[in-house]
Chains A and B, each alone.
Chain A
Amino acid sequence: MLQAHSLLWNYLWVAPNLFLFLLGLLIWRRGLNRQIPAFLAFALLSSPGQLSLYMADILPSVSAGTFWRIDWVSLTLEALLKFFVIGEIFSRVFSPYPSVSKIGKYIVSGVGALLVLIAGLVAGLSPGDSTFRLISGAHLLELTMFMVQCGLIVFLFIFASYFRMPWDRFSFGILLGFGVASCVHLATWATMTNLDLSIHQRTLLDFVNMATFHATVLIWYYYLFGRKIPPKDGAGGRGSQPPSSGSVTDLEESLHEWNRELERLIHQ
């Protein structure tokens, strides 16, 4: 069962990509494309790339060289789209609050640059797992891409958590999916590119990667279209009620008192 080209292997390669494409169509149909355009582009463009790679793998007429070239193109496109999605989520979470979005942009740019440098260093130090540059290069690209992605996502989560940023369901779900996938993929690619593994061990790690991606797509379905907890309208409801005149007078008095105190402190 845990063999290359087994039924499970075929399912794990094809199904999540079909589900992802379907997710993109659902996002489009439900009019969410204006809210998350980069994620929509990722869903609609990366899945055909992976499915073409699958076709290239099973069709005997496609040579190994062509397969790896398709892999390179698909990986590069996927990497670009993923970074656009991360940027989109950053913008959704931080842009409404100018007090943190500016400093956040600077810090994220700095962390991103540092991660790219570290990833370059790691790629340079990695021995590579194949004598063919096309293959080992593709694997190193995967490793460096997941390093930068994982580092950026973990940083965004920590930064947002420090400020207790209010997440919306879409942003949280999308970033959670990418976060889980990038952490697991980073660990598997680090193992594959740096250790001398047998073919069976590599296949097992492929299964881990594919299963994680499948779980990620399900996470996105859950957060984008799953059951939503109804928001409490307590505050809003109360806010729309007309205030009683007596309590407003008291509050105005305390506001004046506070302002007097402030002016005294400021001009001291």
Chain B
Amino acid sequence: MTLAIILIVFAAIGLSVIVRLCLSFSKSLRLPEDASIARQIQPLDVAAFRNLIDPAEREYLRRRLPSAEFREVQRERLRAMAAYVQIAARNATVLVALAESSRTSSNPQAAEAARQLIDNAFRLRRNTAYAMFRIRLAWLWPDSNTAAGSILQGYVQLNGTAMLLGRLQNPAEPVRISAH
């Protein structure tokens, strides 16, 4: 009896997940215009982010501050880091939607740039998941290293391909995912 109930609950959860995803797939078929998708991108200050994840910066703080204060400051830095990583992940998702419309473009250069952008965006999204996990761990142990460095590299690559695609799609409105 208990086993049957567990399996029925599992099946019901599975079905509700599938139905929910089916509804979101139907919405995704009605793609909004590229311009409105591009407006969802939040430019990210790469320099500030790099400063935040700099191990030398952390070492400097560790040497200068008493350990309790260092942990408090480090947690604040981790919170900011998490916010950056979440924005990077969101931007990656928006770029997938943006590039998707160009994947079947008649222009082979645009189609290739779109494919590359999607692949880079997925890599970044995968790295953001890993980095968020490491950031949460580091929240518990503020002395440990974080894996946000790979996010920066991924983001840098993503920005390059996004700009290339933007240039091929619409030279008048370039896509920029990093703030100067």
Contacts and interface: CB of A to CB of B under 8 A. Distances in A.
A179 B101 contact: no
B44 interface: no
Contacts of A243: 167-168, 171
Interface in B65-123: 93, 96-97, 100-107, 109-111, 114-115, 118-120, 122-123
Contact of B171 (A164, A167, A244): A244
B17 A190 contact: no
Contacts of A186: 7, 10-11, 14
Interface in A55-106: 96-100, 103
A184 B171 contact: no
A250 B160 CA distance: 15
B7 A187 contact: yes
A179 B7 contact: no
A239 B169 contact: yes
Contacts of B30: 229
A254 interface: yes
B18 A183 contact: yes
The 6 A-B residue pairs with the shortest CB-CB distance, nearest first, are A236-B105, A239-B110, A190-B7, A99-B123, A194-B4, A243-B171
A119 to B, nearest CB: 10
Contact of A180 (B15, B25, B115, B178): B15
A8 B110 CA distance: 54
Interface string B26-60: 00011101100000000000110010000000000
Interface residues of A, number: 63
A229 B29 contact: yes
B106 A183 contact: no
A3 interface: no
B167 A251 contact: yes
A248 interface: yes
B163 interface: yes
B133 to A, nearest CB: 13
Q: A-side binding surface: helix, strand, loop or mixed?
A: helix
Contacts of B126: 99-100, 103, 163
Please indicate which of the listed interface residues A158, A193, A234, A255 has the most CB atoms of chain B within 10 Å of its own CB: A234
Given A164-B93, A183-B18, 5 more contacts: A161-B21, A179-B15, A190-B11, A195-B1, A233-B106
Nearest to B15: A183
Interface string A239-268: 110011001101100110110011001001
Nearest to A219: B22
Contact of A122 (B7, B29, B31): B7
A172 B21 CA distance: 10
B125 A163 contact: yes
A191 B4 contact: yes
A150 B30 CA distance: 28
B137 interface: no
Contact of A187 (B12, B163, B172): B12
B122 to A, nearest CB: 5
B3 interface: yes
Given A97-B122, A254-B174, A232 B7 contact: no
A154 B17 contact: yes
Given A122-B7, A157-B21, A183-B15, A166 B100 contact: yes
B156 interface: yes
A255 B110 CA distance: 17
Interface in A147-193: 147, 150-151, 153-154, 157-158, 161-167, 172, 176, 179-180, 182-184, 186-187, 190-191, 193
